[in-house]
Structure 1
Amino acid sequence: MSVFKGNRWLKRLQKRTEQQAQPAETSADSNNEHKAPSRKKWVAATGAAGLIALGFMLSNQYVKANTTEVFHVSVAGKQAGIVNDKKLVERWVSTRNAALRKQHPNVNIALNRGDIAVKSEKVYKATYDNTKALSRLDQMLKPAVQGVQVKVNGKVIGTVKDEQTAQYVIRRLHSKYVPVHLAKQASQPRLQLASLSATRATPAIGRTVKYVKVMEQVDTTNVMTSDPEQITDAGTVLKQMFGGTAKQVKYTVKENDCVGCIANRFDIPKEQLYRNNPWIVDDMIKVGDVLDLTVNKPAINVKTIEQVVERHDIAHSVVYVYDKSLKAGKMKRVQPGQDGSKKVIYKLTKLNGMLLDEEIVGQVVESKSIPEIIRKGTKVVIEDGTGVFAYPVSGARLTSTYGHRWGRQHKGIDLVGSSTVKAADNGRVTFAGVKSGYGNVVIIDHNNGYETLYGHLKSISVSEGAKVGKGSKIGVMGNTGRSTGVHLHFEVYKNGAVKNPLSYL
């Protein structure tokens, strides 16, 4: 506006100069109208032109002196305000980011600077308001929070601050049931395992993890949010994964039920069933018993396969040499016996650290046993045992081992295989009938301090007092008594004390 005012002032100045020069011009014309303009008129015109130039120069200097550079600040195309220094915006953003990081130290949070635009403009007598512009900027600009979602089978379990934390969560899924230093090497075929799960009857001398697998699909996805409260720590995400939910389930035992049958029917680990029902002893349940089958259902399930090596004694056998020179009933030790030793290799399959299946996959004899040799006089009778036991079923496979299991004592071993049950050694049948919990049972006295018991038989093929030879048929495998499915329950006693059958087979 002042530029235009200056122009008008110059025009008025020019007009006054021309009016002052007019009388001189008229007087000259009256004397000689054909003469050139007087020197005075020329001087006046020249002065007017100089004043006009001076006015323009002064006007431009005034405008320039009152013109300043300002900066229009906008967020996503919307005007926030005008400031006089663009560095003011940069300093404000830095200060605001520092405050956000201090307020949320465990979150990757910052203002989205890409949304801010600063445009320069030079304006005559410009107006700006730094405080107002920054206040408006604070209202318009929202913080951006970077995070990584952890998903299980496509369902978001939680959001952590970065990919490093997400990968830590995934590693911990393995180390929940395998030590951390082993989880990092889970791809290797043999992992030395320090300690896992239930106490075994015989201490393990070696344990390796052959297989570790998270059964669900676990993925991560980068996300942006404006709410820092959506970011959680690794511990919270892991707790949500392993915590799961549990709906209470009760079951009343029916006729022909067994512990293993019920566990299979409801798809729960047998070990979990025992933990929920500690009153169960030797798998014995009866009709009307109420079982707690409640099982926690976590979002994540980890399956492991372990190889466990245990050392077992090999009981020495007793060999009788019949000598007619000795009186009837007389015995004489010729050679003392000595136990041997062997390594038994087990394959343990577990889900979330709980035993699902146990199987013997190999045996290695470290030292052979030395038999005890006894001379026995006079009469040779078939019921005298050799002291060396054979498996009572052909193609035997171990389904349950001897010893302390889940707070209870399992007195023998459980075997499956051929349906024909055979005498493990020579002897005399001292019992053939029904015993509580065992169902149909045969007990054989081997006349050398050993007795063997064969339980849960479908049928019995011998009678009390019968003399049986090693490997002769004594019955058919079954599921009578308190049984966990069709199998043979086999026990060994020495001088009345129960022993681990695996030490004699």
Structure 2
Amino acid sequence: MFEPIKSFFDDFSAYLRAWYLFLKKRFFILAGVLENVKSEGAHFLYRQRGRFARPISHFSVGILVVLVIALSPLVSWEKIEFGGNESQILGTIDASFTALGSAGQSSSNLQGRGGIAEYQVVGGDTVSSIAQKFGVSLDTIRWANNLKSVDDIKPDQVLRVLPISGVLHSVRRGETVYSIAKIYSVDPQAIVDFPFNTFIDDETFALAVGQELVVPSGVMPKVKLWSKPAPKTDYLAEAPVSISDQGQTQPTDQFIWPTVGKISQGYFWYHKAIDIANSAAPAVVASRGGIVLSAGWNAPQAYGIHIIVDHGDGYKTLYAHLSSVAVSPGQSVLRGQVIGQMGSTGRSTGIHLHFEIRAPKGNVNPLSYLQQ
């Protein structure tokens, strides 16, 4: 009775064993072939002494990029309403960052959106209306999208819109922040300070070929502008008033210029300060009297050597990128007293003073408080 069943299991076991031996043999044959191919390939590359190393590495990186793109969400959608015209903004995921003068704030608090947005044109849109919606110049949209005329847009077209007026630059071989800044007539510090620009090396500000940089307030050379030129704000910082020259007539709660030089960068949503540049590295004085809270190379490191003075009424001033300090924490200082020397420490591209006035409710534009 059990003989047929036993015979079936014996035959089935023999069948499985035959398949096992067959696959095992084929596996070792395939492994041997792959080993030979690997050996021949390695020998070939060795004989070529690295001739194909770069193409192979580029091909591998390309495959990796394709995989990342394929496996990642392609687009993040966010709805933004602009006074009755509802449009879709692509790729505007909120990002948090720390910009000098805006510690603890997010990009949404500063500008309502982060990075470069993609805007889908709807019926009735014009380049001018889109520029007004985003608070940038016509030329900013023109240059970022290679528009030939103001009529060169149509419904459903997707436009790239920078978060600030300026130029979107694609880095070419051999370029630096300094050479790029010269092309667009801006200070290189403005490129470095823009919080969405990244660098291979944050100390040297090295760039990668092909990466995109936002050049704030940049202007394309040798082109006729569509937008009216912005009001010129190229102030010269006056020489600070010395303690002996202040007299008794000036109110002691008035801020004075902390140093002398050229205003190389103004006050923006991401740069809540002014930069005063001077290659002679002059002395820096207290803009108002008060107590020194900190002096030296303290956090955040981006400020380099810096001083913070508390004026006792909710206002504080900060002096950053100094080369040296002449005061210490807890020390009382008078308005016009020398507290340090202008320098280029921290996240800096050249000799300048980063000057902030911190009011009780946050940073304010120093130019509104300084005599001009």
| Common fold by TM > 0.5 | no
Q: Which has the higher contact order (CA 8 A, sep 6+)?
A: 2
Q: Which structure has the larger Rg over C-alpha atoms?
A: 1
TM range (shorter): 0.3 to 0.5
TM-score in terms of structure 2 length: 0.41
Per the normalisation by structure 1, the TM-score is 0.31
